[in-house]
């Protein structure tokens, strides 16, 4: 059974949650949205990657953990040329040992103007 975690981030109009927990595991999803308004942040990949990871951080903290509890991240980019910028920001938040990560280039993401989406799994003590 899963439990929804109230992250305080503006809820999606879609039938999804941004954080759920089952036992010691927490699943998180984040996009580059303002956590209060839900508006997609303006700017390039660095601004969007930063806001996305900050939203992951808000969600994992709401679950009782930190970014250090994240064991896996799946990154979805709309352009492979965005990978270096995303990686630079990623290194600002995640340190060794890095979570396991897959980065996938997709044709598009659902929100207009969105360049990155991240799905993460955390394990809490």
Angle at which helix 45-62 crosses helix 83-93, to 10 degrees, equals 40
Distances (CA, A) of 65 to 30, 40, 61, 86, 96: 16, 25, 5, 23, 17
Within 1-125, strands assigned E span: 3-4, 19-22, 25-31, 70-77, 100-105, 116-123
Q: How many helices (H) and strands (E) does the chain have?
A: 2, 6
Q: What is the pLDDT of residue 8?
A: 93
pLDDT, one tens digit per residue, over 68-119 is 999 999 999 999 999 999 999 999 999 999 999 999 999 999 999 999 999 9
Answer CATH for 3-123 from 3.50.50.60, 3.30.1490.20, 3.30.1330.40, 3.20.20.70 = 3.30.1330.40
The pTM is what? 0.96
């Amino acid at each position: 059974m899963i439990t929804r975690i109230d992250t305080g981030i503006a809820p999606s109009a879609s039938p999804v949650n941004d954080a759920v927990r089952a036992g010691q595991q927490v699943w998180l999803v984040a996009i580059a949205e303002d956590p209060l308004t839900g508006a997609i942040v303006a700017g390039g990949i660095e601004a969007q990657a930063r806001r996305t990871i900050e939203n992951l951080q808000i969600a994992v903290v709401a679950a009782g953990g930190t970014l250090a509890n994240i064991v896996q991240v799946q990154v979805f980019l709309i352009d492979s040329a965005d990978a270096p910028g995303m990686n630079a920001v990623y290194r600002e938040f995640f340190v060794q040992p890095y979570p396991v990560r897959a980065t996938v280039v997709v044709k598009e993401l659902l929100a207009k103007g969105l360049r990155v989406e991240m799905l993460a799994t955390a394990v809490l003590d």
